Amino acid sequence: MADSIGYYLESVFSLKDKVILFTGAAGGIGAAVCKAYAKAGAKLAICDIDERGLASLEQEIRSDAPDAPADKVMAFRLDLTDIVSIEACVNSVVDVYGRVDVLFNCAGINKREGILDVEESTYDRIMQINLKGLYFISQEVAKHMRKAGHGNIINMASHNSVGMLGGCSVYGATKSAVTALTRSMAVEWAKFGIRANAIAPGHILTPLTAVTWEHPTRGDYLRDRIAMRRPGQPEEIIGTALLLASDASSYMSGMMIHIDGGCLAGGAPWDFDTKYS
Ligand SMILES: NC(=O)c1ccc[n+]([C@@H]2O[C@H](COP(=O)([O-])OP(=O)(O)OC[C@H]3O[C@@H](n4cnc5c(N)ncnc54)[C@H](O)[C@@H]3O)[C@@H](O)[C@H]2O)c1
């Protein structure tokens, strides 16, 4: 019985031998999703600017699958602020694997400050990594996907794609743009067999957001705005990431899925008098 459930789930959600190029792999959400993708059968090209983080993720995935061939997981340095690095990374991945079936654009940065304080260098850096880099690595990978006649792109959007927090003006602008860009990719590239969707996490506890959750007042502010009254864990992104990378979502394109503990739904209510028996 357990086996038949396993076989059925595998037939729907398996990533067996899918080649996944994953940016921001060494980050909080990236590492959690990469480990899950490896367990679901994918071949992973893990890419990041953080080479130490990549090395430890690669080792962790390998120690889970000691008999797997060398191309089960391979690390590639990627600096999304540099077009030359983007092209080199994509070319290296295609040289090793011969193709990219799924591109997961997960890398992203933020710096929290008011609009009046944002300097041009900060603006440029967030734009370069979150939007321009994502744009051009997608373009580069899509050239190969087009030749192959199929492809699948997953972009990391954010709660800030639709609902803003103060101090996130540049970040929010990039994430709103990522949502729009996801639709453009879906519309323009469907004829090449490429689909594109986005994931919009709410408030997930990772190195990117720890500073907010640990803040004396901002952690409580967030809890009040989340129906479940807690941060999400990176592992809670895995289910949606599996859905979007697998053929289970073969008719989905141009969509954004929110994973936010009921934040957009309205947040946590104030106390009220209703008695439940
Ligand atoms: N954590 C959250 O609550 C949350 C909410 C919404 C959206 N997101 C998005 O999810 C994604 C992952 O976030 P996270 O919380 O895991 O963050 P994280 O900081 O843990 O990971 C981000 C990764 O991007 C990499 N990176 C940074 N600059 C790079 C560059 N120039 N080139 C290549 N890689 C680079 C970092 O090295 C890091 O490994 C981001 O796009 C983020 O905006 C996160």
Write the pLDDT tens digit of every residue in 179-206.
999 999 999 999 999 999 999 999 999 9
Q: How confident is the model at residue 164 (pLDDT cuts 50, 70, 90)?
A: confident
Burial class (CB in 10 A: 0-12, 13-18, 19+), 92: middle
Domains along the chain with CATH numbers:
12-259 (3.40.50.720)
Q: How confident is the model at residue 9 (pLDDT cuts 50, 70, 90)?
A: very high
- Edge-first strand order for the sheet with 102-105 is 73-77, 43-48, 19-23, 102-105, 151-156, 194-201, 256-259
How far is 223 from 54, CA to CA, in rounded Å? 32
Give how far Cα 42 sits from Cα of 5, 71, 252, Å: 20, 10, 20
The per-residue pLDDT for 1 is 67
> Measured in angstroms, how far is the CA atom of residue 130 from the centroid of ligand 1?
9
The best mutation among 77, 109, 138, 212 to test binding of ligand 1, ranked by most ligand atoms within 8 Å of the C-beta, falls on 109
Mapping DSSP to helix (H, G, I), strand (E, B) and coil, where does residue 237 land?
Answer: helix
Residues 6 or more apart whose Cβ sits within 8 Å of residue 54: 25, 26, 46, 47, 48, 75, 76, 77
Residue whose CA is closest, atom 43 of ligand 1?
Answer: 108
- AA letter at 238: I
Tell me: the pLDDT tens digits for 73-110? 999 999 999 999 999 999 999 999 999 999 999 999 99
Mean pLDDT score of the chain: 95
Please state the separation of Cα 179 from the chain's center in Å: 13
How far is 170 from 4, CA to CA, in rounded Å? 49
How far is 203 from 263, CA to CA, in rounded Å? 9
Largest distance between two CA atoms of the chain: 65
User: Is 251 part of the annotated catalytic residue set?
Assistant: no
Give how far Cα 183 sits from Cα of 5, 13, 169, 189, 196, Å: 35, 24, 22, 10, 7
The best mutation among 29, 80, 90, 164 to test binding of ligand 1, ranked by most ligand atoms within 8 Å of the C-beta, falls on 29
> Measured in angstroms, how far is the CA atom of residue 1 from the centroid of ligand 1?
40
Q: Is the CB of 50 under 6 A from ligand 1?
A: yes
> Measured in angstroms, how far is the CA atom of residue 71 from the centroid of ligand 1?
24
Mapping DSSP to helix (H, G, I), strand (E, B) and coil, where does residue 79 land?
Answer: coil
Confidence check: pLDDT of 147 > 80:
yes
Confidence check: pLDDT of 224 > 70:
yes
Backbone angles phi, psi at 204, to 5 degrees: -105, 140
Residues 6 or more apart whose Cβ sits within 8 Å of residue 134: 23, 80, 105, 107, 155, 178, 181
Backbone angles phi, psi at 89, to 5 degrees: -65, -50
Q: How confident is the model at residue 277 (pLDDT cuts 50, 70, 90)?
A: low
Confidence check: pLDDT of 256 > 80:
yes
